[in-house]
Amino acid sequence: MALVPAVVPTLTKAGFEVVIEAGAGSQAGFPDAAYAEKGARILPDRSAVFDAAGVVVQVLCYGSNGLTGKADMPLFRKDQLLAGFLRPLGSLAIIEEIAAVGVTSFSVELMPRTTRAQSMDALSSMGTVCGYKAVLIAADILPKLFPMLTTAAGTITPARVLVIGAGVAGLQAIATARRLGAVVSAYDLRPAAKEQVQSLGGRFVELPIDAADAQDARGYARPQDDSFYLRQRELLGKVVAEQDVVIAAAVIPGKKSPVLITREMVYGMAPGSVIVDLAAERGGNCELTRPGETVVDHDVTIAGLINLASSVPYHASQMYARNLSAFLLHLFKDGKLRIDASDEIVRETLLTRGGKIVNARVRNFFGLPDLEESSDGTP
């Protein structure tokens, strides 16, 4: 859910009128009465919300929602503002379709990773939820206990967990696995991740291979060449074989997820082992991952989970709503939308405006020509 009752008073105090589709929050644990109590107006259906709202906030907008997202397109109108997950580095055709409606859209995936934008960083919020839940799912599937236990039947040795990719989701997975009592290791091609892994009590796996320009300006891992990934897989194979659980969370924005766990590596794991592939939506870090499915191959369970944050809807909605409300308060001053090209937060998240894709990073990604700046400095 994009907005929860707790943020409604903050938005209304800032001059917004909040309208909610009837029943929209019920499955996440937020009944209509809770919204009404906080001052929101409940409208009977989705069409009524789109008709009434100058600003539409969603979780998965068209582009990131392949099931029902397209049905929203006839409901939009020119100059309406849209904010949410739009998958800006996904389908160019879909982004052009959104632009053609005349919607001014902001993609939360493009939020800069800066201290100033931290309260608006929805990707980090959802990554936290995914990392936490991935470990719980692995613990539920694994036919072993996570912690070391001293029992009347002797000592139970702790489970061994490897986390591949020490971004926000990976770090939360490390922390959660440690809280459950597992022995945790982690690997990331970015050397800067070592200190973060160790601060959470994990052992950082160092491979005798160096990545070229491992990290971009936004803190994400850069894609490497095929020879790097080949050598990386060779070295990781021995580490993976020792694990009871592998949480794979190595994602490169806009790129297919690198295959880090081959079929041979899976077959080298002990029977009953578990792989939770958080990169499944972009193809998966495991060669055997089937996006959206949980499969068993050679007695190893591979969970290719998608949109894992939706399995914790109450707190995922709460976190996302706080991010979005902070973003809206940043965009609007004295009740007016301020699109300031000198503001990094606005400039980096603005995706479409005036019938065009205006985001420089997205245009460059798809090989589109640069746009000329207008008098106010915006494309």
Tokens of 323: 């991010």
Of 124, 243, 257, 273, the catalytic one is 124
Of 113, 179, 203, 290, the catalytic one is 113
Q: How far apart are CA 298 and CA 318, in angstroms?
A: 40
Of 72, 121, 188, 244, the catalytic one is 121
- Biggest alpha carbon distance in the chain? 77
* Residue 121 annotated in active site: yes
* Residue 124 annotated in active site: yes
Of 118, 198, 199, 374, the catalytic one is 118
* Residue 113 annotated in active site: yes
* Active site amino acids: 113, 118, 121, 124, 220
